[in-house]
Amino acid sequence: MNDKSARSGCVPTAELLPELALGILGGTERADVLAHLDRCAACRDESAAWAATVDALPTVLADQEPPSGFEARTLERLRADRDRVPRRSTVQRVLMLAAVVAAVIIASVAAIRIIDARSDTSSSTALASARMVGNGGKHAGNAFMTSGSEHYVFVDVDYGVKTGIYRVESVDSSDRVTALGMVAVTAGHGAWAGELPGRATVGTPRMVRLVEPGGEVLCVAKFGRAAA
């Protein structure tokens, strides 16, 4: 993509960057903006500036004294988490459930397609998950992938990733790299879901990773044999 064609999308992209930064842009608009950001450094800078504006917004909300005992309960939860006690909050359970539901929906679509396409086979679909790990072994999020003759991937990026636009790639057992799409991470949060190309062009993925515009790998989710 040359500079001229990249600039041609700057005006409509600029109109939508505030909504992207706020995390409320969806559908084809979001896809179009992310595709443009992938090839336009100027708009990526502009996107980062909008993200900084959004990051400052919560500071205007007034303080409020938490309920009695909040501090002690919070410190106890931190201690318990550090001690690896498997305790999860209501919010965390709900968020994890949402991630699993999203992944299961993807898996269901895959299963339905498989059944539709090959009603005479017993092809089945299962779901694999893997932690996304960044530099120094830092947890950066989770990736889910359906197994079977078709693969669907769901990537949920968490707070270990800085604001930016990243390429989602799969790497198969032959080290073939396939670009799957783009994910926007705002204030450490972002998600991407999509289908891998057919097996004619892509082998069974052994990992999914996020790559910075400059080509540096940010974090990786490695799937075991069960995902094959």
Partner 1 sequence: MWVVSDDALLDGLATGDPDATAAFVERFQRRVFGVAIRIVNDPRLAEDVAQETFLRAWQRAEAFDPRRGTVAAWLLTIARNLAIDTVRLRRVVIVDPAEILDRREPTGERGPDDLALLSSETERLHAALGDLPPDQCRALVLAAFFGRTAREISESESIPLGTAKTRIRTAMLRLRAALVDDTEASE
- Binding residues for partner 1, per CB under 8 A? 15, 18-19, 21-26, 49-50, 52-67, 70-71, 73-75, 77-78, 81-82, 89-92, 94-95, 98, 136, 138-139, 158-163, 187-189
Residue among 53 and 121 whose Cβ is closer to partner 1: 53
Q: At closest approach, how far in Å is the CB of 202 from partner 1?
A: 31
> In angstroms, what is the minimal distance from the CB of 192 to partner 1?
17
Nearer to partner 1, 54 or 211 (CB): 54
**How many C-beta atoms surround the C-beta of residue 140 within 10 A?**
25
| Backbone torsion region of residue 188, taken as left when φ is above 0, otherwise alpha when ψ lies between -120 and 50, otherwise beta | left
What does the angle CA 106 – CA 162 – CA 87 come to, to the nearest 5 degrees? 65
CB 25 within 8 A of CB 33: yes
Task: CB nearer to partner 1: give 107 or 218.
Answer: 218
Residue (164 or 181) nearer to partner 1, CB: 164
Q: Please report how close the Cβ of residue 87 comes to partner 1 at its closest, in angstroms.
A: 10
By beta-carbon proximity to partner 1, the closer residue of 18 and 213 is 18
CA angle 161, 167, 171 (to 5 degrees): 105
Q: CA of 13: how far to CAs of 36, 38, 106, 187, in Å?
A: 7, 12, 29, 20
Q: If you compute the radius of gyration of the chain from its CA atoms, what whole number of angstroms results?
A: 20
C-beta neighbour count of 136 within 10 angstroms: 6
Tokens at residue 67, please?
Answer: 């309920």
Shortest distance in whole angstroms from residue 182 CB to partner 1 = 19
Min dist. Cβ of residue 47 to partner 1 (A): 12
Give the residue with the Cβ less far from partner 1, 151 or 154. 154
Name residue, tokens 């009695």. 68
Shortest distance, position 45 Cβ to partner 1, whole Å: 13
